[in-house]
């Protein structure tokens, strides 16, 4: 496939971008909870970046499937753990996104939302190391 080898690097680059954005978005969420003058600004930025982050995670999850299934099928067996962790990250971010409209008004959503996000960010760091083993 023309450009196939180069296309294999799009998923890892997208993953690195997603993890970087996730860390930044998490720091905004943390700052929004602190008694600081810029808490409301951090809260607005966190709320603005959340949907973008979720979309990037979804697109990168799909790109990972395409990379393995269409571009490099020989990685299918070796990439199972990477797929499982990626699916878990997508699930955690999706649950956090579903809860996000309730965070301002529901203390349970306020308590659970950051736990889901933090777990997804930590798994994202782990996912990078799983993915490095799969690079061509």
| Model pLDDT for residues 10-62, shown as the tens digit of each residue | 999 999 999 999 999 999 999 999 999 999 999 999 999 999 999 999 999 99
pLDDT of residue 95: 98
pTM: predicted TM-score of the whole model, two decimal places? 0.91
pLDDT of residue 4: 60
Closest listed residue to residue 134, CA positions, set 86, 76, 88: 76
Residue 50's domain spans which residues?
4-132
Give the largest Cα separation in the chain, rounded. 54
Q: Is the pLDDT of residue 121 over 90?
A: yes
What is the total count of domains within the chain? 1
Structure tokens at 6: 């180069």
């Amino acid at each position: 496939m023309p450009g196939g080898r180069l296309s294999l690097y799009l998923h890892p680059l997208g993953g690195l971008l997603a993890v970087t954005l996730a860390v930044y978005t998490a720091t905004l969420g943390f700052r929004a909870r602190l008694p600081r003058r810029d808490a409301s600004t951090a809260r607005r930025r966190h709320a603005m970046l959340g949907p973008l982050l979720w979309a990037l995670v979804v697109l990168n999850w799909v790109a990972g499937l395409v990379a393995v299934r269409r571009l490099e099928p020989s990685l299918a067996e070796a990439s199972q753990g990477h797929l499982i962790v990626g699916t878990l990250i997508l699930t955690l971010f999706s649950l956090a996104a579903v809860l996000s409209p309730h965070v301002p008004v529901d203390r349970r959503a306020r308590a659970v939302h950051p736990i889901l996000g933090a777990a997804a960010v930590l798994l994202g760091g782990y996912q990078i190391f799983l993915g490095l083993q799969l690079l061509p």
